[in-house]
Amino acid sequence: MMYKVHTHIRSPNYEARYPDTTIDFLIMHYTACDLEASLKILTDPNARHRVSAHYLVDETGEVYALVDEEFRSWHAGKSAWRDLADMNSRSVGIEIVNPGQGPNYRPFPPLQMESVASLSKEIITRWRMAPHHVLGHSDIAPGRKVDPGPLFDWKWLAGHGVGVYPDIQKNQERQSREWKGQERKSEKEPLPLDKRKEKQLDIIRIQHLLARYGYTVPLSGILDPQTRAVIEAFQMHFWPESILEKFRLMGCRSVKETLESKSLYVDGGSRERQHPFSLSLEDEGILDGETSAGLIRRLESLIDSLDNQPCANL
């Protein structure tokens, strides 16, 4: 074991898992406060909403084992993936100390990520979890939760054997081969579509792909609030640079600076929903072509990797 585990602080906030539950998901969170406050919140038996997690990982990389994995800890709340609605029952939850999205949001330090990776690998092996069952809180509760956010390095984690990340290169090569095949087959050019129609088709396609991968998204054909929230959750996990790049283009030199720029906060509503990264979609609620194409490419790559798993546990 590469990391230090503290077992002297335990959380009373847990219960028995329901009988015959499979433990097959690993859920990542950030605490949005420092170590001391995190420990207090995750172990408080008197809170109005009692919460906990199986593990807490400090920025130093030290791990606090708060609840045994055999028990159902209370970290996910109202959440869903595919047709599974009770994620607390079938998951192990890791809380990671980080100030959270807001003025002090910052990258997760290497020591902390090393511990998250080592700890995760043990959990995944122990419960034989499928790689695509390693998810963020925002993936299973889009619109309600935004943790662990776009600075959490999912790509690095996947490179270290935890979770999956889209392989754009590989997917592009396959697609270009398919397109060439299609060109040979069709003699006529397809009719040019009216722009609006084209966008609507993109939205429908994106919704279907998101749903196929596991997200809870309506197949409405419009960019309703839930669809926007799910697209945002997807971007934070699988394409964070699409969100961060827009901030750079807006003249912000760093993420920290971007987050400190007050003008990005929209007045009214809860802070959690209207965090600054919401700006990745155009104001009118229409996806731009580049974002649509990027989303589709990444989703297809992920779904490909899912289909190619010999024993994909859907």
Q: Does 29 bind Zn ion (CB under 5 A)?
A: yes
> Residue 56 or 223: which CB sits closer to Zn ion?
56
69 vs 147, which CB is nearer to Zn ion?
147
- 226-264 burial: b if 16+ Cβ within 10 Å, else e: bbbbbbbbbbbbbbbebbbebbeeeebeebeebbeeeeb
Using CB under 5 A as the binding criterion, the count of chain residues that bind Zn ion stands at 3
Subset of residues 110 to 169 that bind Zn ion, contact rule: CB under 5 A: 137, 147
Ordered DSSP codes for 3-20: S-EE-S-----EEEPPTT
| Cα separation values, 45 from 11, 24, 41, 51, 95, Å | 8, 27, 9, 9, 18
**Residue bearing tokens 């289909």:** 307
Nearer to Zn ion, 23 or 146 (CB): 146
Residue 72 is a binding residue for Zn ion (CB under 5 A): no
Could you tell me which stretch among 10-18, 25-33, 189-197, 250-258 binds Zn ion (CB under 5 A)?
A: 25-33
The answer to whether 202 contacts Zn ion (rule: CB under 5 A) is no
198 is catalytic: no
CA dihedral 208, 214, 219, 225 (to 10 degrees): -120
Amino acid at 219: L
CB nearer to Zn ion: give 137 or 228: 137
**Which stretch in 23-31, 34-42, 151-159, 297-305 sits in contact with Zn ion by CB under 5 A?**
23-31
* Residue of 59, 62, 69, 95 with catalytic role: 95
Smallest distance from Zn ion to CB 73, Å:
12
Q: CA–CA separation, 254 vs 190, rounded Å?
A: 43
Closest contact distance (angstroms) between CB of 30 and Zn ion is 7
- Please identify every residue annotated as catalytic: 95
Q: Where on the chain is the footprint of Zn ion (CB under 5 A)?
A: 29, 137, 147
